[in-house]
Amino acid sequence: MFVRFLELIGASVLELLYFVGDVMLLFIEAVRQVPIKIRVRHVVNQMSHLGVDSLPIVSLTLTFTGMVMTLQIANEFIKMGAESTVGGIVAIAIGRELGPVLVGVVAAGRVGSAMTAEISTMKVTEQIDALRVMGTNPTGYLVVPRMLACMIMIPVLTIYGDLIGVLGGWLVAKYYAGISTYVYVDSISHYVVLKDMVGGLIKAVFFGAVTATLGCYYGMKAPDGAEGVGKATTRSVVSAIVVIFMLNVILSMFLY
């Protein structure tokens, strides 16, 4: 019984290492393909799909996040006489953590799943095999445009999300807690430094690479059939969200 338990642990560890190695090989191959031939039109199309189409959900997510965070801390800070720090606290929290992480999770759920579904459908219908027959590298044709688009647009969406989140916090601070606009904005200028925002954008670049790489990986490794497409999409979203949270801890340790 104990030996069987150890065998299960060993098999799980080996499977995890195989998965990590496989994903890293795909990422390295995509990076190698970038300077060979960048299809600008494909990158722009993916940027449009990722950026413009994600604005509504990013707006809703970050607006309500900024509002609820201010709702939770404003009255407590007022009791302690620290209402002049509310705007800065909200801006730092959103810029460092909530902005990039929530945008990354939204991208993993919305964009990563779409990538996986699209590429896995191409695999099931043998379109990827057709690309190889025509002498086209599937990694360069499918993965590189999506990876570049994610690494460019997720930081852009993060900047937008940071602004929207701070604006949502201001609405609650002014009309619910009675904190003036001047006090709210002044605290941001006093407590927020460039490093807070830059660190969040660096995180967003990594989250974009994770979302695209895992989305494409699961799409290209999807089992045959319609059921395989569904399983690949689910695994892609779950894996990307888990990796984003883990990577966020590691990056926070180094950046701050």
- Of 8-12, 77-81, 89-93, 117-121, highest mean pLDDT: 89-93
In a domain, 35, yes or no: no
pTM of the predicted structure, to 2 decimals: 0.88
> What mean pLDDT comes out for the span 189-204?
88
Q: What percent of the chain has pLDDT over 70?
A: 98
In a domain, 189, yes or no: yes
Domains in the chain, number: 1
- Of 7-16, 193-202, 241-250, highest mean pLDDT: 241-250
In a domain, 45, yes or no: no
Containing structural domain, residue 83: 63-255
Q: Could you please report the per-residue DSSP string of the chain?
A: -HHHHHHHHHHHHHHHHHHHHHHHHHHHHHHHHTTT---HHHHHHHHHHHHTTTHHHHHHHHHHHHHHHHHHHHHHHHHTT-GGGHHHHHHHHIIIIIHHHHHHHHHIIIIIHHHHHHHHHHHHTTHHHHHHHTT--HIIIIIHHHHHHHHHHHHHHHHHHHHHHHHHHHHHHHHTS---HHHHHHHHHHH--HHHHHHHHHHHHHHHHHHHHHHHHHHHTPPSSHHHHHHHHHHHHHHHHHHHHHHHHHHHHHH-
